[in-house]
Structure 1
Amino acid sequence: MLDHNRAYYEVASKLGVHVHDIHDIIVWGNHGESMVADLTQATFTKDGKTQKVVDVLDHDYVFDTFFKKIGHRAWDILEHRGFTSAASPTKAAIQHMKAWLFGTAPGEVLSMGIPVPEGNPYGIKPGVVFSFPCNVDKEGHIHVVEGFKVNDWLREKLAFTENDLFHEKEIALEHLAQ
């Protein structure tokens, strides 16, 4: 949720709209530099007109600058302030728990880190926690939202963040075994 929120606020600022006017930005995979902040699915509404974000923003921004900026955000804050922000992660944790407890609004998609389910629609291997586009029903059941297109750019980025997570898991298990 933290990177999800950062992505929404970054795009809202770039487009001059409120975050509630943007839909379907997805943060896939890991947290940090290997996560994938994806605008290929995103839309926004401005002056009563709904448009695809990729049709309005510069190609290099969408496919390079944006996801690097979101992935480096924590380091940028630390470098600028000398310490990390506590408010943003706290807000993200509360939003995550609120979705679990009360569900998401109809049509709302959140980027949620969940244990990878068997047979997920995006081909990610089970065994790690991975951020997917999700919604939550009123009973608190989390559902991976299906139907988002995975182009070649996204497929490559998903494979990278998936491999990164499995590498981190391997390192963690080695430390636990000591």
Structure 2
Amino acid sequence: MADVIRVVVTGAAGQIAYSLLYQIAKGDVFGHNQKLALHLLDIPPMMGVLQGVVMELQDCALPLLQEVIPTDSVDMAFKDVDAAFLVGAMPRREGMERKDLLAANVKIFKDQGEALDKYAKKSVKVLVVGNPANTNALVCSHYAPSIPKENFTAMTRLDQNRAQYQVAAKLGVGVIDVRNVIIWGNHSATQVPDVANASYTKNGESKRALPDLDNNWVNNEFVPLVQKRGAAVIAARKLSSAMSAAKAACDHMRDWWQGTQSGSFVSMAVISDGSYGAPKGVIFSFPVTTSGGQWTIVQGLTVGDQVRSKLELTAKELLEERDEAMAVCEGKL
């Protein structure tokens, strides 16, 4: 077995972490031969609940799990970690707008960025799940200047998984048979689900998806359904997505850590270099491939006029969020 790696999960007493921790600890993310220690961070009032989570992890008798450290101290939580799942954030509730989350959450991610900068390994891979995820990741990166900006990502894999299921159902195939559905931009209602480069396999034959998907369905049903799926789950459950969010976080980190499959790319929100006209310096979701723990934006893909116009809207939102978040961090709001 490989040497023990240290993985921190914030918001560890919460509902997303409850689904996430078992998948990590049994080897679904970092590999079934990778021993690990879990650092579980939450706020002081949640320490009693967190102790119950620790007991359950112990009772699972998972062979890869070497140590569990529950704590309300960021110093201890981020000490020498190799990977970070930043889940803890004020949750979005029914009727809340994304901007309502900014003032409360950016301060959390400023503190965690400073802690990562001070205590974590400089090679740490950081996945921000807590919303607004793209901007929280940007804030976190800003306050961790000694860690490469490429090491900070935000999760749009949940949106990709949602989109992939809808395409598969429409085409009458399994989700495993659909590849290269893209989510561009922000993890918000302005995100841009895109099937122009998607393909699928049916009866042993690989095909482009778009000729077999009706444009009316794509534009008027598929795109708004994916964009608004999070709000629909909240309306139904009265709670935000948890099981599906945990699965997507595992998918994201697994592909980053272990590499994407040949011929396939995945959606990750990463620091923008200006590809496809996205503004530089924001955390923007692109199609990427991964290898050796590094991601690379896929270049040269078809981007139609309709998609490109939507990219401008999601870019505008990210720039507005960035400016507002930084103003909060600097005490101007």
For the aligned pair, the TM-score class normalised by the smaller chain equals: over 0.9
1:36 aligns with 2:192: yes
Q: Which runs of 5+ in 2 are unaligned?
A: 1-156
Taking structure 2 as the reference length, what is the TM-score of the superposition?
Answer: 0.51
Alignment equivalent of 1:74, drawn from 230, 249, 270: 230
The one of 174, 187, 194 aligned to 1:18: 174
Deviation per residue, 1:105-156 (Å, 9 max, x gap)? 1112000110112x53x1212121000000001x111000112111111110
Match of 2:254 among 82, 98, 102: 98
C-alpha separation between the residues in 2 aligned to 1:41 and 1:33?
21
Task: Kindly state the Cα deviation for residue 71 of structure 1 after the two structures are TM-superposed.
Answer: 0.8
Identity %: 38
Q: Which position in structure 2 is the counterpart of 1:53?
A: 209
Deviations 1:74-118 (A, max 9, x none): 10011112212211111111111111211111112000110112x
Residue 50 of structure 1, CA deviation: 2.9
Residue deviations 1:47-76, cap 9 Å, x none? 233332221222112123211110100100
**Alignment match of 1:135 (pick from 289, 292, 301):** 289
Query: What is the one-letter code of the residue matched to 1:165?
Result: L
Whole-angstrom CA distance in 1 between matches of 2:180 and 2:161:
12
The one-letter amino acid of 1:104's match is T
Aligned twin of 1:154: 307
- Supply the AA of the counterpart residue of 2:313: F
Match of 2:319 among 161, 166, 172: 166
| Separation in 2, partners of 1:87, 1:125 | 32
Name which one, 1 or 2, has greater alpha-carbon Rg: 2
The residue type paired with residue 294 of structure 2 is H
In structure 1, C-alpha distance between the alignment counterparts of 2:324 and 2:297, rounded to whole Å: 27
In structure 2, distance between residues paired with 1:168 and 1:46: 42
Specify every segment of 5 or more residues in structure 1 that has no aligned partner in the other structure, as ranges: none
Residue 166 of structure 1 deviates from its aligned partner by 0.6
Give the root-mean-square deviation of aligned CA atoms: 1.3
The correspondence for 1:144, drawn from 283, 297, 301, is 297
Q: Count residues in correspondence.
A: 175
Distance 1:101 1:43 in 2: 25
Alpha-carbon deviations, 1:8-27, whole Å to 9, x = none? 11111122211111111100
**Mean alpha-carbon deviation: is it higher for 22-31 or for 54-63?**
54-63
Q: Which amino acid aligns with 1:70?
A: V
**1:142-175 deviations in whole A, cap 9, x for unaligned?**
0001121111111101111111111111111122
1:89 equivalent to 2:238? Answer no
In the other structure, the counterpart of 2:329 is 176
Following superposition, which runs of at least 4 residues in structure 1 exceed 4 angstroms of deviation?
none
For 1:151 and 1:14, the matched residues in 2 are separated by 22
| Counterpart pick for 1:63 among 211, 216, 219 | 219
TM-score w.r.t. length of structure 1: 0.93
